């Protein structure tokens, strides 16, 4: 059985090549799945079309201010924890980062164990809080509100049933890749919402809702002899 750390995906935004390599090496060794980049623009694209559990962020970046990027992230991913890693050590700088939305602040240079400790604390909160937050899933400007089972885009929303929400979430987590009908059926069965053709029925209902509300950028495509695939939106732009 995989540990919590092995399931967690961390995005590292660090412009210094050596620091970026070391941070990625330290966290990968701990079992985390890491993706590293060095510009805000690249990080925005990764966050728009990927799912991450933590952002490790340097503040001095070549294409913008890390503090401004925190605001951008929190507007789109309010439940994504952010660990700032910076040489800026004044109390005012630390307070500013935390007030904007960072969850923790680590001053460079630091010992590898301290980075691991901070990351572990952010990704493994006390049990009293662990199940209180259901993370929203983002794809471009489209949000899947898991707690309330809604699709949010712009000022619009689509209410989903429990089965539709769980099915869409499973496809969402493998966006751009085919998911077998058997895998989808097992997921539906675990949520007590299934019979032999439930997957096809749910997909049909989802397609009807998406078409009715004009959400054409979110497309569920049948893959012959395999199952279904959720395609990447083609017209969602980074703002």
Q: What would the pLDDT profile of 189-206 be if each residue is shown by its tens digit?
A: 655 444 446 788 889 999
- Supply the pLDDT for residue 15: 92
- Condensed to tens digits (0 to 9), the pLDDT of residues 20-65 reads 999 999 999 999 999 999 999 999 999 988 889 999 999 989 998 8
Which carries the bigger pLDDT value, residue 164 or residue 126? 164
For tokens 């010992």, the residue is 111
CATH code of residue 196: 1.10.10.10
Do 62 and 100 fall within a single domain?
yes
Do 56 and 148 fall within a single domain?
no
Which carries the bigger pLDDT value, residue 96 or residue 19? 19
Show the domain range for 142: 137-230
Would the CA dihedral through 78, 80, 83, 86 be positive or negative? Answer: negative
pTM to 2 decimals? 0.56
Do 181 and 162 fall within a single domain?
yes
In sequence order, what are the residues at sequence separation of 6 or more whose Cβ sits closer than 8 angstroms to the Cβ of residue 67? 59, 96, 97, 100
- Answer whether residue 26 is part of any domain: yes
- Supply the pLDDT for residue 11: 96
Do 122 and 142 fall within a single domain?
no
Domain boundary among 130, 149, 169: 130
CATH code of residue 99: 3.40.50.2300
Domain boundary among 100, 130, 160: 130
Q: Which of 194, 205, 200 is nearest to 222 (CA)?
A: 200
- Answer whether residue 236 is part of any domain: no
Do 32 and 48 fall within a single domain?
yes
- Condensed to tens digits (0 to 9), the pLDDT of residues 84-138 reads 998 887 777 778 888 888 989 988 888 999 999 999 989 886 443 344 345 677 7
Domain boundary among 130, 157, 178: 130
Q: Number of structural domains, the chain?
A: 2
Quick check: helix, strand or coil at residue 190?
helix
- Answer whether residue 114 is part of any domain: yes
- Answer whether residue 71 is part of any domain: yes
The DSSP element (H or E) to which 45 belongs, if any, is helix 40-49
Per-residue pLDDT for 188 more than 90? no
- Answer whether residue 95 is part of any domain: yes
Percent of the chain's residues with pLDDT above 90: 30
Do 159 and 123 fall within a single domain?
no
Do 85 and 159 fall within a single domain?
no
Q: Which of 31, 79, 75 is nearest to 55 (CA)?
A: 79
Do 88 and 188 fall within a single domain?
no
- Answer whether residue 235 is part of any domain: no
């Amino acid at each position: 059985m995989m540990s919590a750390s092995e399931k967690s995906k961390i995005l590292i935004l660090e412009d210094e090549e050596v620091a970026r390599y070391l941070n990625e090496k330290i966290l990968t060794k701990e079992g985390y799945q890491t993706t590293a980049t060095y510009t805000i623009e690249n990080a925005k694209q990764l966050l728009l079309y990927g799912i991450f559990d933590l952002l490790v962020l340097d503040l001095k970046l070549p294409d913008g201010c890390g503090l401004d990027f925190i605001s951008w992230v929190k507007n789109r991913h309010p439940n994504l924890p952010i660990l700032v890693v910076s040489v800026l050590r004044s109390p005012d700088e630390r307070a500013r980062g935390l007030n904007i939305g960072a969850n923790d602040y680590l001053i460079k240079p630091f010992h590898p164990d301290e980075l691991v400790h901070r990351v572990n604390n952010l990704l493994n909160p006390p049990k009293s809080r662990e199940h209180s937050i259901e993370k929203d899933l983002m794809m471009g400007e489209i949000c899947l509100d898991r707690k309330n089972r809604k699709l949010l885009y712009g000022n619009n929303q689509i209410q989903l049933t429990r089965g539709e929400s769980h099915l869409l979430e499973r496809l969402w987590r493998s966006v751009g890749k085919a998911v077998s009908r058997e895998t989808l059926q097992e997921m539906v069965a675990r949520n007590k919402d299934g019979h032999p053709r439930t997957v096809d029925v749910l997909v049909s209902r989802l397609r009807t809702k998406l078409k009715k509300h004009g959400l054409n950028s979110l497309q569920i495509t049948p893959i012959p002899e395999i199952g279904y695939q959720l395609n990447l939106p083609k017209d969602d732009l980074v703002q």
